[in-house]
């Protein structure tokens, strides 16, 4: 069994390039065949040190070694057919894309089979120079991903067989796409449902009205009953986003805000006084009992 390369160089897995180089120089001096030419064990050790240094001093080879072990980065007999790792990507989506669902073309950085050696790691009877005998090469390749409508921030899509290629002809892992959804200036998302705030004029609130409100899919009519107060919440069934799990569309919740006209003149002031006389009300009558802090 081959020893761990870090153990061979007597360093930790977090050692920097300088530390790797220093460790190699120290050990190479110690076990150099020039010094120990009669000692076969020292020679084997020296070869081991040289191989560990070759891999750990090359950032790409070291990353491969950390990921796959010596089978890929080193010279061991190579186990063929191991499945590649999954690739994780984050995609940022706009609100409209989330609402409708979309297709995105992602540039996926991943290991792909080396074409020059047919993923074998060997070309013309020697180690393949294109992939350093690893059978896979780094590549950035476009992958088209269908994003279903209703994705939420943090939702994950698994695209089977679009991850890293396995070493030496092994099948690809999966591509995992997480979504980040940009904030919308009007619609807010709470779990499955969508919330928004719509202003009403005081007259609409007073007499009731049919008002048009934007929805993720277009527009809907909200019937506001007479005497609506600010802060009241209305539910528009099925006017939110498509449900990710299961069928149908989630709801849109509309909170209304009542806006006042500004700038009364003498005539409008008199008209408001007239209304007040016709419709007297005392909205604070119930507060009297709390005077002085009584409960
Ligand atoms: Zn190759």
52 Cα–ligand 1 center, Å = 21
CATH 2.60.260.20 domain span(s) along the chain: 87-181, 188-280
Q: How far is the CA of 117 from the centre of ligand 1 (A)?
A: 4
Nearest of 56, 9, 1 to residue 30 by alpha carbon: 9
pLDDT for residue 225: 98
Extract the residue ranges of the chain whose pLDDT is less than 50: 1, 74-78
Looking at domain 87-181, its CATH architecture is: Sandwich (2.60)
In what order do the strands lie in the sheet containing 252-259? 188-190, 193-201, 252-259, 233-236
Cβ contacts of 231 within 8 Å, gap of 6 or more: 255, 256, 257
Domain with CATH 1.10.287.110 in the chain: 5-57
Report the run of H or E that residue 143 belongs to, with start and end: strand 136-147
Q: How far is the CA of 50 from the centre of ligand 1 (A)?
A: 22
Residue 240 is given by DSSP the state S
Res 40: pLDDT: 65
Please give the distance, rounded to the nearest whole angstrom, from the Cα atom of residue 110 to the centre of ligand 1: 15
Residue 46, helix vs strand vs coil: helix
Buried b vs exposed e over 65-85: b needs ≥16 C-beta within 10 Å? beebbbbbbbeeebeeebbbb
- Ligand 1 geometric centre to CA of 122 (Å): 6
> Domain 5-57 class?
mainly alpha
**How far is ligand 1, taken at its centre, from the CA of residue 65, in Å?**
16
Closest among 111, 113, 105, 108 to 175, alpha carbons compared:
108
Taking the centre of ligand 1 as the mean of its atom positions, its distance from the CA of residue 166, in whole angstroms, is 13
Residues 6+ apart with CB under 8 A from 105: 142, 143, 144, 145
| Span from the CA of 169 to the centroid of ligand 1 (angstroms) | 11
pLDDT of residue 165: 93
Does the pTM surpass 0.85? The reply is no
Q: How far is the CA of 60 from the centre of ligand 1 (A)?
A: 14
Residue 55 to residue 77: CA distance in whole angstroms: 16
Q: How far is the CA of 78 from the centre of ligand 1 (A)?
A: 14
What architecture is the 188-280 domain classified under in CATH?
Sandwich (2.60)
Helix (H, G, I), strand (E, B) or coil at 222: strand
What is the maximum span of the chain, computed from C-alpha positions, in angstroms? 116
CA distance 268 to 263: 9
Q: How far is the CA of 4 from the centre of ligand 1 (A)?
A: 24
Q: What confidence tens digit (pLDDT) does each residue in 72-106 have?
A: 554 444 455 688 899 999 999 888 888 888 899 99
């Amino acid at each position: 069994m081959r020893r761990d390369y870090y153990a061979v160089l007597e360093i930790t897995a977090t050692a920097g390039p300088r530390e790797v180089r220093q460790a190699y120089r120290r050990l190479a001096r110690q076990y150099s065949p020039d010094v120990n030419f009669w000692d076969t064990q020292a020679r084997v050790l020296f070869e081991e040190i040289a191989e560990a240094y070759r891999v750990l001093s090359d950032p790409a080879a070291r990353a491969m070694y950390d990921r796959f072990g010596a089978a890929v980065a080193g010279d061991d007999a190579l186990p063929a057919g191991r499945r590649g790792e999954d690739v994780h990507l984050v995609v940022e989506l706009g609100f409209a894309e989330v609402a409708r669902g979309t297709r995105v073309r992602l540039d996926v950085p991943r290991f792909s089979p080396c074409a020059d050696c047919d993923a074998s790691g060997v070309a013309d009877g020697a180690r393949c120079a294109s992939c350093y005998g690893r059978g896979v090469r780094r590549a950035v390749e476009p992958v088209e991903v269908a994003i279903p409508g209703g994705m939420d921030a943090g939702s994950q899509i698994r695209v089977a067989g679009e991850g890293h290629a396995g070493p030496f002809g092994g099948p690809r892992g999966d591509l995992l796409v997480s979504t980040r959804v940009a904030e919308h200036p009007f619609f807010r998302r709470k779990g499955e449902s969508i919330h928004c705030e719509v202003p009403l004029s005081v007259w609409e609130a007073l007499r009731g009205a049919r008002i048009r409100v934007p929805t993720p899919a277009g527009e809907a009519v909200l019937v506001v009953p007479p005497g609506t107060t600010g802060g009241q919440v209305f539910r528009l069934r099925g006017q939110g986003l498509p449900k990710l799990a299961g069928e149908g569309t989630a709801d849109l919740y509309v909170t209304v805000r009542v806006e006042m006209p500004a700038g009364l003149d003498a005539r409008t002031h008199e008209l408001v006084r007239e209304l007040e006389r016709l419709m007297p009300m005392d909205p604070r009558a119930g507060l009297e009992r709390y005077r002085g802090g009584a409960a």
